[in-house]
Amino acid sequence: MSASGVGAPPTVRVWVDDQPVDVEPDGPVVEAILRKDERFPHICYHPALGPIQTCDTCIAEVDGKLVRACAVPAAEGMQVRTQTVRAQEARMEAMQRILVHHELYCTVCDNNNGNCIVHNTTMHMKINHQKYPFQPKPYQQDNSHPFYRYDPDQCILCGRCVEACQNLQVSEVLSIDWNRDRPRVIWDNDVPINESSCVSCGHCVTVCPCNALMEKSMLGEAGYMTGLDPALWEAMIHLTKAVEPGYGPIFTVSEVEAQMRQSRIRQTKTVCTYCGVGCSFDVWTKGGKILKVEPRMEAPANQISTCVKGKFGWEFVNSPERLLHPLIRKGDRFVQVSWDEALDYTATRLREIRDNYGPDAIGVISSSKCTNEENYLMQKFARAVIGTNNIDNCSRYCQTPATEGLRRTMGYGGDTGSIQDIAHADLVIIIGANPAESHPVLSTRIRRAHKHFGQKLIVADLRRNDMAARADLWLHPRAGTDFIWLAAVTKYIIDQGWHNEAFIREKVNRFDEFRAWLSPYTLEFAEQQTGIARKDLIRCAEMIHEATKVCICWAMGVTQHVMGSETSTLICNLLLITGNVGRPGTGAYPLRGHNNVQGAGDFGCAPVYLPGYERVDDPNVRAKYERAWGVKLPETPGMDNHRMVEEIHQGNLKAMYIQGEEMALVDSNSNHVQAAFEKLEFMVVQDVFFSKTAQFADVVLPACPSLEKEGTFTNTERRIQRLYRVLEPLGEAKPDWWITQELARRLGAHWNYTHPGEILEEACGLAELLKGVKWDRLEGYQSLQWPVQEDGTDTPLLYTEGFPFPDGKARLHVPAWRPPVLEPNEEYDLHLNNGRMLEHFHEGNLTYRVPGIREKVPMTYVEVSPELAKKRGIETGALVRLVSPYGAVKVRAVVTDRVQGNELYLPMNSPRDHEAVNYLTSSYHDDITHTPAYKEISVRMEVLEAKGPSPMKRGNFRLGHPRALPGVMVEQKWRRTDYQPLTDEAAPSAEQAKRLKPRAPVPT
Amino acid sequence: MSLPRKGVPDLAKAITTIEWEQPSAQEQTVRRLAKVADEAADAADALTAFIRWIQLMHEKGWLQAMIAILEQGEDIMKILVRQANEPEYATGLKNLIGLTALLGQVDVEMLRSVAVAAREAKTRVTSGQIQPVAGIFPLLAALRDPAVGTGLAWMLEVLKSLGQAVAQPDPTHAPAPSLVTSAT
């Protein structure tokens, strides 16, 4: 139950074979039929895609006419008859036409797992003989891609893959060439898959209703007889065809075999370990092997959508490089030891340091990759066992300024709504973010809405990234000046009288003070400071004014500056003065980077906050936790991770316990951070791999990745979801919560958690924000968005009833301007931007250990603009050294128009530690939150080799050429001379059918 | 345990050398056997019965045969499938499957009625209750019997259905549409 949910939507009543069925109005009538008979044929129709109209298998009589049920909107009183002779004959003919394109060999097919739509439909329609024999197509299988293959001989040309690619993922790679004698699905302009612009999201494979598109990891693995020698396999198919008098017996055998597969194939739900979108899906495993990732419509954040990492990026779990045993540093090497030895030693050293120097000499870093339960235990360990508030997590490096901006102005430090709200906005503004590569599934909802539903898009970014290339307006400000143009646009809106006076009057404080502060931020000033043309600033203001629902998404391009908190505050102010908060389709969306960076903060891993953002220096809060935990708790806020590094150099911090964080490479100014680690008297690192950070440790503890444990994650929507154990832990690796508990016990704590559910119940029993979160309320695909009331009512949309301040009103906060640091000068003349790329996550510790991903992007590279490349005499492949006041890295260059002028871009991932971008960044930081100003750095570029082998290898989608098309373009099929219509009247046009497409998939 | 403390310059640096434990072959065997022993202890009764069963299989030579089949599995399958693909065998298998399917279509009740009717008629003929029909007039007289008329109508319908079935083309050999006009 949701606090902000409206009443049940209206319905219409249609009559299906004389039975009443209530459905949403204007949805396709096939949905009504499926409610009565879930086996009703509908091969190409998918609720996430809407009508495609290629298969004709859903033909029914509607009000006396034979129509495709997927393409007709349900209307009150509609009479639908599915069992008339005409309707049945039409559907049968349609299915017979499909089987021309698909060789049925179900028993030896890896897709025969009970969910093959072609198999199930053929069987349920009781087709015993093929009217038209199967005809092989004159095309080879395409096995070029590392993760999936396409078999044209099995392709029924339903177009689901095309529709998914063009209009759900909107990467616009796939199409069907209907002009050939034998049509086929093609990638780009008909190139091998791995030479195309395919981003490997996996949508096409997921929606394929048969085995034409299959994950390679499934081939030869899923069935009892699918791994046969190919010659034998072919002979068996031939024999099956020769001896079958009809399909009946064959289907019986294949059904039995499919049932048998359930004995050895497990399907376990998990939540993605990568970005903050929080995709959930089933992972299919056979023993310790991962067969595939199967997303489902029930998934609340993503439904059937995935990206390359979520769909294909899990082989790292079985990597031979996994840490499997505890290690202790002895001399110049690490030596494998037992768990008891490692834990005893760690506890002894921590106790010694605490006793000698005090609890605040120890710093604890929790992990945004670990579960909520594990984060809760880490902060409990720091506070209740060590006795310090020196606990932090990596949100410090990214979205803490946004949290600060939200908390100052609106009250809660989380996204104000859900991904569905972003999909339904009239206007989306993306500032300093690249969601197409950093939050891929979230960005698909924006792309779909923009392509087909009239949503407008403004992007403010230095790079011409994917979303900027699609935008209706692309603003390219000078680095570090978002603050100025935002203030100018806000002032212009107010000057024009376009602000929402009623909303401000009823729900917002300090308008006059803020308005007065805005006075210097004229359009002229902004144009001069930012480089954005005045007309573009005006256009931006106009677009905001014209839209009734505006969402603003932002990320590191805003927050990783010395003014990150202030710029985030301005974004919130803009939304408030235009009334774009607290309504569906509106709001503030700082995009959380990691799968559980939201949860790490929610569950208290911050120096100032206990779980639920209750302050450590509030005596009432402290008293509550002291009662619950049975210990006295420290009173003063502790050090954040950035400050810990300084305190190490000052000699005040002597030890660190780091869980799942590559601090040596992801904190800024890596040389400075690593020098600090060398000064520690004791360091324990708990991780999945032997990271760069672990190289400095005294003790290394092997931890389990997400697939090997239970728990919950919280995504960028504030949505808490459960993950289930998919695989048994490898070697001696343990879940992080077990490790922390064992350490705590050795330090005198009486912890006796036997399961993460117990930890969650304790944590949520104490935090007001999470009071109603219960383990069993998160069963399966259920989820809760905090705040959650005690009866389980959650809050998908914040601020519908006011703001959590004493008077219920939001507060416009007057920000403070500070100029960016380290701007280009004579010695360091180029601005260095940095961030993520699609294929690799963060620094790449996980994704570089996925062979297929590594094959596609084997190395990092710096992006150089064509104009700069020409000036410096370099080409793609050049080897350059980038030098900043803080360090140097050597990388190959790619010349591209994604960057302009003297702006470079270096991704933060690399397979080689010494290429890490943070060897170049400084220790300057946001004044309020201490978030490093990663984006404020200038370098000089020394050319070592003017040309060389391109670092962009075959398989990199950026080398491809997508083709934006409306979709399958089924009208081309209907115009073919060999197509005989089966319906009574001309099909609805593409425009008419489009109205039946969902704006965004809705979880079932 | 006394271990070196960080802060001593030689030991403060990042190090990458790891000495993994390399258990000897014997130690690995001992560990694996310990794991097996744990499982065996939990299933002692079932294991005892299983061992008895295996012993019997071995004494009768069946175990060796099964081992051979599994070892040669794929090659044996190739032989069988190759042989089965020969026309005479494939047709035989097809007919066998077809006959099996046919059994499902047989109306046993109807057959029983026919058999009962035939038996009763035979009984009446052999007991002399029925005289042979000799000539056209006794035949016409017999046709006036409603039961005879019904039986005759039934037989004619059977002949009609048979004639229609024989005349219909084989559905598995429907002419394939041409490539140009293939159903898309």
- The 10s digit of each residue's pLDDT in A673-710 is 999 999 999 999 999 999 999 999 999 999 999 999 99
- Closest chain B C-alpha to A672 CA, distance in angstroms: 13
Residues of chain B with Cβ-Cβ distance to A135 below 8 Å are 176, 179, 182
**Residue B179: band (very low, low, confident or very high) from pLDDT cuts 50, 70, 90:** very low
Tell me which chain A residue has its CA closest to the CA of residue B15.
A695
Do the beta carbons of residue A396 and residue A931 sit within 8 Å?
A: yes
Considering only the beta carbons, identify the residue of B19, B101, B181 that sits closest to A334: B19
pLDDT of B8 = 45
- The 10s digit of each residue's pLDDT in A421-445 is 999 999 999 999 999 999 999 999 9
CB-based burial, A776-789: b 16+ in 10 Å, e otherwise: ebbeebebbbbbbe
- Closest chain A C-alpha to B158 CA, distance in angstroms: 24
Using DSSP bridges, classify how beta strands A887-895 and A879-884 pair: parallel, antiparallel or unpaired: antiparallel
DSSP annotation string for A18-52 = TEEEEE-TTSBHHHHHHHH-TTS--SS-BTTTB--
- Closest chain B C-alpha to A129 CA, distance in angstroms: 6
Q: Which two tokens stand for residue B134?
A: 């000799």
- For chain B, the first-to-last Cα distance in angstroms comes to 77
Rounded CA gap, B27 and B41, in Å?
A: 21
Q: Given the structure tokens 């700082």, which residue do they identify?
A: A590
pLDDT of A985 = 74
- The 10s digit of each residue's pLDDT in A960-1000 is 999 999 999 999 999 999 999 999 976 666 666 667 888 88
Residue A271: CB atoms within 10 Å = 30
Considering only the beta carbons, identify the residue of B15, B78, B171 that sits closest to A332: B15
- The 10s digit of each residue's pLDDT in B121-133 is 888 888 888 777 8
Q: Does residue A1 have a pLDDT over 60?
A: no
φ, ψ for residue A322 (rounded to 5)? -60, 145
Do the beta carbons of residue A672 and residue A694 sit within 8 Å?
A: no
pLDDT of A562 = 96
Q: Which two tokens stand for residue A790?
A: 């005690």
Q: What is the mean pLDDT of residues A777-790?
A: 98
pLDDT of B7 = 45
> Which amino acid type is present at position A812?
L
- The 10s digit of each residue's pLDDT in A827-883 is 999 999 999 999 999 999 999 999 999 999 999 999 999 999 999 999 999 999 999
pLDDT of B176 = 40
Rounded CA gap, A416 and A405, in Å?
A: 12
- Closest chain A C-alpha to B99 CA, distance in angstroms: 9
- Is A680's Cβ below 8 Å from some Cβ in B? yes
Interface test with A, best of B2, B11, B15, B27 (most A CBs within 10 A): B15
Tell me which chain B residue has its CA closest to the CA of residue A98.
B184
Rounded CA gap, A248 and A314, in Å?
A: 39
DSSP annotation string for A434-490 = -HHHHSHHHHHHHHHHHHHS--EEEEE-SS--HHHHH-SEEE-PPTT-HHHHHHHHH
Asked whether the beta carbons of residue A345 and residue B176 sit closer than 8 angstroms, the reply is no
Q: Which alpha helices (DSSP H) does A560-618 contain, by range? A: 564-577, 597-602
Residue A245: CB atoms within 10 Å = 20
Give kind and range of the element (H or E) at residue A334.
strand A333-336
Tell me the helices (H) and strands (E) count for chain A, helix number first.
33, 37
Rounded CA gap, A114 and A135, in Å?
A: 25
**Residue B4: band (very low, low, confident or very high) from pLDDT cuts 50, 70, 90:** very low
- The 10s digit of each residue's pLDDT in A354-381 is 999 999 999 999 999 999 999 999 999 9
Which has the closest alpha carbon to A300: A794, A825, A985, A800? A794
Residues of chain B with Cβ-Cβ distance to A231 below 8 Å are 78
Asked whether the beta carbons of residue B84 and residue A239 sit closer than 8 angstroms, the reply is yes
Q: Which two tokens stand for residue A687?
A: 């991780």
Q: Given the structure tokens 């190919």, which residue do they identify?
A: A230
- A925: DSSP letter: B
Q: What is the ipTM of this complex?
A: 0.77
- The 10s digit of each residue's pLDDT in A573-601 is 999 999 999 999 999 999 999 999 999 99
pLDDT of B77 = 75
CB-based burial, A631-659: b 16+ in 10 Å, e otherwise: eebbeeebbbbbbbbebbeeebbbbbbbb
- Is A330's Cβ below 8 Å from some Cβ in B? yes
Which has the closest alpha carbon to A529: A458, A461, A479? A479
Residues of chain A with Cβ-Cβ distance to B28 below 8 Å are none
Rounded CA gap, A71 and A988, in Å?
A: 7
Q: Quick one: what percent of chain A has pLDDT higher than 90? A: 90
pLDDT of A539 = 98
pLDDT of B10 = 44
Give CA angle at A643 (A639, A648), nearest 5°. Answer: 100
Q: What is the mean pLDDT of residues A433-460?
A: 98
- In order of A147, A696, A750, A948, A949, the CA distances from A894 in angstroms are 26, 33, 56, 10, 10
Q: Which two tokens stand for residue B39?
A: 């499982």
CA A725 to chain centre: 20
- Closest chain B C-alpha to A653 CA, distance in angstroms: 12
Do the beta carbons of residue A957 and residue A198 sit within 8 Å?
A: yes
Asked whether the beta carbons of residue A132 and residue B174 sit closer than 8 angstroms, the reply is yes
Helix (H, G, I), strand (E, B) or coil at A643: helix
Positive/negative CA dihedral, A992, A996, A999, A1000: negative
User: Residue B29 contacts by C-beta under 8 Å, 6 or more apart in sequence?
Assistant: none
Q: What burial class does residue A522 get, using C-beta atoms within 10 Å of its C-beta: 0-12 exposed, 13-18 middle, 19+ buried? A: middle
Residues of chain B with Cβ-Cβ distance to A678 below 8 Å are 6, 12-14
Interface test with B, best of A239, A327, A353, A674 (most B CBs within 10 A): A239
> Which amino acid type is present at position A318?
N
Considering only the beta carbons, identify the residue of B16, B77, B171 that sits closest to A695: B16
Q: Which two tokens stand for residue A931?
A: 């978030």
Q: Which alpha helices (DSSP H) does A578-654 contain, by range? A: 597-602, 619-629, 641-650
- Is A603's Cβ below 8 Å from some Cβ in B? no
pLDDT of B169 = 57
Q: What is the mean pLDDT of residues A795-801?
A: 98
Reported as half-sphere exposure (CB side, CA atoms, 13 A), residue A140 has a value of 7
**What is the C-alpha R_g of chain B?**
39
Rounded CA gap, A485 and A530, in Å?
A: 7
Do the beta carbons of residue A816 and residue A514 sit within 8 Å?
A: no
Asked whether the beta carbons of residue A329 and residue B176 sit closer than 8 angstroms, the reply is no
Asked whether the beta carbons of residue B184 and residue A157 sit closer than 8 angstroms, the reply is yes
Asked whether the beta carbons of residue B94 and residue A244 sit closer than 8 angstroms, the reply is yes
- Residues of chain B whose beta carbon is less than 8 angstroms from a beta carbon of chain A are 1, 3-7, 10-21, 74, 77-78, 81-82, 84-85, 90, 93-94, 97-98, 100-101, 171-172, 174, 176-177, 179-184
pLDDT of B2 = 36
Do the beta carbons of residue A865 and residue A903 sit within 8 Å?
A: yes
- Is A245's Cβ below 8 Å from some Cβ in B? yes
Which has the closest alpha carbon to A553: A448, A471, A463, A442? A442
Range with the poorest average pLDDT among A45-49, A694-698, B170-174: B170-174
- For chain A, the first-to-last Cα distance in angstroms comes to 15
What is the largest distance, in Å, between two alpha-carbon atoms of chain A? 89
- Is A854's Cβ below 8 Å from some Cβ in B? no
Asked whether the beta carbons of residue B14 and residue A696 sit closer than 8 angstroms, the reply is yes
φ, ψ for residue A566 (rounded to 5)? -70, -40
Q: Does residue A447 have a pLDDT over 90?
A: yes
DSSP annotation string for A203-248 = HHHHH-SSSSEEEGGGTTTSSSSTTS-HHHHHHHHHHHHHH-SSHH
Residue B80: CB atoms within 10 Å = 14
**Residue B90: band (very low, low, confident or very high) from pLDDT cuts 50, 70, 90:** confident
Considering only the beta carbons, identify the residue of B3, B4, B184 that sits closest to A979: B184
Considering only the beta carbons, identify the residue of B12, B82, B183 that sits closest to A132: B183
Tell me the count of A-B CB pairs closer than 8 A. Answer: 142
Q: Given the structure tokens 């005892």, which residue do they identify?
A: B48
Interface test with B, best of A243, A357, A728, A919 (most B CBs within 10 A): A243
pLDDT of B166 = 80
Q: Does residue B141 have a pLDDT over 90?
A: no
- Closest chain A C-alpha to B70 CA, distance in angstroms: 14
Residues of chain B with Cβ-Cβ distance to A333 below 8 Å are 15, 17-19
The size of chain A, in residues, is 1004
- The 10s digit of each residue's pLDDT in A714-734 is 999 999 999 999 999 999 999
Tell me which chain B residue has its CA closest to the CA of residue A696.
B14
Residues of chain A with Cβ-Cβ distance to B17 below 8 Å are 332-334
Mean pLDDT of chain A: 95
Do the beta carbons of residue A145 and residue A188 sit within 8 Å?
A: no
Q: Does residue B184 have a pLDDT over 90?
A: no
Q: What is the mean pLDDT of residues A756-765?
A: 98
Asked whether the beta carbons of residue A97 and residue B183 sit closer than 8 angstroms, the reply is yes
Asked whether the beta carbons of residue A181 and residue B13 sit closer than 8 angstroms, the reply is no
Tell me which chain B residue has its CA closest to the CA of residue A246.
B98
Q: What is the mean pLDDT of residues A127-155?
A: 95
- Closest chain A C-alpha to B84 CA, distance in angstroms: 7
Helix (H, G, I), strand (E, B) or coil at A887: strand
User: Residue A126 contacts by C-beta under 8 Å, 6 or more apart in sequence?
Assistant: none
Range with the poorest average pLDDT among A538-552, A784-798, A907-921, B49-63: B49-63
- Is A969's Cβ below 8 Å from some Cβ in B? no
**What is the C-alpha R_g of chain A?**
29
> Which amino acid type is present at position B144?
R
Helix (H, G, I), strand (E, B) or coil at A717: coil
- The 10s digit of each residue's pLDDT in A219-276 is 989 888 788 777 887 887 777 777 666 777 778 888 888 888 888 899 999 999 999 9
Domains of chain A: 11-99 (3.10.20.740), 327-398+597-754 (3.40.50.740), 412-590 (3.40.228.10), 830-959 (2.40.40.20)
Rounded CA gap, A736 and A740, in Å?
A: 6
Q: Does residue A517 have a pLDDT over 60?
A: yes
Residues of chain A with Cβ-Cβ distance to B7 below 8 Å are 679-681
- Closest chain B C-alpha to A692 CA, distance in angstroms: 8
Q: Quick one: what percent of chain B has pLDDT higher than 70? A: 84
Using DSSP bridges, classify how beta strands A587-590 and A810-811 pair: parallel, antiparallel or unpaired: unpaired
